[in-house]
Structure 1
Amino acid sequence: MKSITPFITLNGNSEAAMRYYAEIIPNAEITQMDKFDDDGTKTFQGVLNIDGIDVNFLDMKHDKKAPDLNWSFSLMVECSSESEFDELFEALSKDGTIVMGPEPVCEYERATWVTDKFGVTWQLVI
């Protein structure tokens, strides 16, 4: 096996999601943004690199709908400081849904699950 890469499929807002994450997440940058040829608005292959880990994005074409995302799959971020945790929590929960926390969980000082405005669920821990 060469690699395993998280791959998120959305319905026309992959570029907006990637730009938002690149803005709010430390060490995140868009490294690829290829569009479908038909209209140039939907993302065919988008790559957001977060601290050395690629997360791929795709928009479904007009005649197909992506399955609804849910919190059973999430991206976990181990924050390096309380301020980083607080900033990410505030940004990701804005216009989103707090699934759990923040609260102490096992060895973590604080943990939370947040589904953001794009429907992607994040676990933040410190």
Structure 2
Amino acid sequence: MKLLDQNQTQTLLEFNNVDRAITKLETKTKVIWIEHEIPNKRGNIRHFLGSSDGDVVLSGKLLGSHATKASNKGIIRSLTLNGTILYLDTEGYEDDLNGRYVITDIDIPEQGGEPWEFTIVLTEFSN
């Protein structure tokens, strides 16, 4: 799962590497749970009914050292504050949610040495 620039030429965030792991995907009509929290692995996906305020909600954990987590949090904040148009690439997952989005809400509390749980709300961008 990746967030790229809107022209799909540069990866801005990749969520299934050693520093960031998506643990849950949620859309307006369903919650798509990834059944593991292990980076670099593709998990089985189950579907549950659910709802959200945005079009896609990504929940997961920022991993790594404190400096790495703080850096990744800064990247996500910057993309949000700048209203950066992003392309979501959901390759490897059953549901095709690919498309252009903007981040409309984030929640990343700092939690000491533990992985920092995050929530990113994406709203589909249409021009």
TM > 0.5: no
Short-chain TM bin: 0.3 to 0.5
Q: Relative to total residues, which structure has the larger helix share, 1 or 2?
A: 1
Pick 1 or 2: higher relative contact order, CA cutoff 8 A, min separation 6.
Answer: 2
TM-score (normalised: structure 2) = 0.34
Larger gyration radius, structure 1 or structure 2:
1
Give the TM-score normalised by the residue count of structure 1: 0.34
